[in-house]
Structure 1
Amino acid sequence: MTTVSLNPSPIYSLSQRAHQIKESQIRESSRYCEKFGAINLAQGLPDFPAPEALKEAARAAIASDMNQYADSWGWHKLREAIAQKMQRDNQITIDPETEITVCCGATEGLNVALMTLIDQGDRVLIFEPFYENYIPNLATVGGIPEFITLHPPQWEVTEEMLLPAFKKGLKAVIINSPANPTGKVWTRTELELIAKLCQEYDVYAITDEIYEYIIYEQEHISLMSIDGMRDRTIVVNGFSKTFCITGWRLGYVVASPYLSAAIRRIHDFITISAPAPLQYAALTAMEFGREYFTNLADDYRRKRDLFYPVLVELGFAPVLPQGAYYIWTDSSMIAKDADSAAFWLAKEALVAAVPGTCFSHPDREKVNALRFCFAKKDSTLESAIANLRKVCHFS
């Protein structure tokens, strides 16, 4: 891979945001796979197929010439299905005509949410370890990240931790539950605490709920369902993780009519609309029975329980995730820093993981952690386990 320098030059004059945004470490970790022939347990993309009914629905939509612009807000039948899902699974009544916007992935959803709320210099609270996108997302709107570091194994959030940040002055807080990279699932008590402080200090919440159906011992609760948060929460979600279609880039945003009107204006001039035939296909997925979602969680729990004990056995000191499909581990027994550990693992064990620096405060001098993805075929996980056992003996 050839990296182009972003250093100032007499030829190019780039924006400050272009200088602030660095290349993705997740994608870089995946490139180790090409370089060393390593097994990709880095990037959060399954290596098994999407449901056949969903693929057939996409083929049929394309063949039926559903290939032009869709309604910028999203196909009305899909919005209606999302509203039904919100009522059924999140106990939130939503108007599909005024409160749902279908967009190009949860990534665009998060960006338009931030663009709707955040001005230059506004502070936004994020919880470390955090999903890699949040820092560059904030850079694009001039937001200032305010960090609170959570600690394993519970990743607990307390009022003592939160109060200084809220008193400092926040415009918004980003909640990711179930969380990437830690697998933390926010409890009702924690969400009620956030809700109380958001109302007391007039703060908005953006909730990233893309892994809501990939959940194990706990239940998923949407912050929007907590008393007082209906009009000050923007829910960001999508189809990628639940239906194994990360390449479709299909997501949605749920918010009050006033917030949605602004979200829709911004979305319209960024991407116009999400892919039309894929929206038609997604309606098929929304009509899957409850068995699909139960089986999804059960299958990922089984994969977690296959891979996690091996990481314990080899001395990685993993943290058992309560949701999502990642495992957070120590890396200090491999190298002095996470980047070196990830490089060594890909080169020597032929297994690619993401270094913890990707999910940490950019000014933090030392991070000793790795994130492994177990959204893989059993045969892939078994091959990775065999590779790890050959060279990793840290216990």
Structure 2
Amino acid sequence: MESKLGFYNTHDVVLKEFRICDSTLRDGEQTAGVSFSIEDRKAIATLLDKIGTHQIQLGFPGINRTTFNETKAICDLGLKAQIELMTRGTHPDWKDDVKAAVDCGADVVHTQIPMSTYMKRMYSLLSKQEILQRITDFAMFAKEYGAKIRNITLLDVPRVDINFLKEAAALIAQLGVERLRLADTVGTSTPEGFAYIVSELKDVIALNHAETEIALHCHNDFGFALANAFAGVKAGASMVDVSVNGLGERSGNPCYAEVVVAAEKLYGIKTGIDMASLTELSKLVARLSGIPIPTNKPLVGGLAFGATYDGHVSALLDDPFSYKGILPEEVGNEEKWLITKCANKTIISLKCQVFGLPFDEESILPRLLTAIQAKCDSMTPPSIISEEEFVKIYKDTIDAK
């Protein structure tokens, strides 16, 4: 059964296919309190690869020997996904970082360049000319040392003068760098603003007759990460960074499941990713990270497909898409009809039928509703009555003599 979506989703929208880069094991591990063991990392990377993730971004193998060994262990798994490793572009030991990434077996060697005045003290204080020189030095050294694909990320681009961004992008294109990544590092961009930046730099690359692709790294500080990602793709980007359950520093990155399902279902873009495994992936990361999935998290939350209001349940019985645009099994989730203070005739009669309990709208329903509402009022939220508790309430209320 196909999803039932809005008629106008693709009106005046032309989106090309784009690839997914998962950063759960890098930015996701920078979530406050998250620390993955090597076995955790292997489990997450293996499942990411199994479901078809195009690229997996790991951390900084040049920081210390332990990180190098853990990173190399993931590279040695022989995954189909490309492995991207990070380096610190303005750190005094940046060349050692590049060597470590290549020696680990990286498919993509990534460096990050702080562009805004707000981030100028990240590792080293560099002038604009020194930043441009470092871009050149990285591009040349990484190629000489054997990097297969070079990625240069410009940090905090929404807070940088567009002319400086264009100068950096032109240089990156002229150097033949394979990928330019644009980071909305603290989530300060609107979708319109981010699309403008991507479009302007896409034109710069074209003017230099280069094949440098544009990737995106968005943060959700203002809740715009998902919207900014798709605005950037519309403007010409071909890769989007995501993180499972939206993990990442502060408010996190675009959520893996939401980006994939929006691409597939709302924009009709084939990602090649197994959507039916998305809930499994989210549960794995939630367990290993210690960060629970909010119950109302879109698509993968435990109550993302929960129905409580009687009118909705009645409508769903008539048409499963009346209050859904996608079936829960398409993302490996399940529908739940819940007994809450909103419960009424339809859901209560259904629960009675499930447990073989007599039901009568005139004599039994009013008494059950009174008991259920009283129970919900007395509960500590969330006020959801389990099926076992429902049976007990029924017996205590209706069977009482």
Normalised by the length of structure 1, the TM-score is 0.30
- Higher RCO structure, 1 or 2 (CA under 8 Å, sep 6+): 1
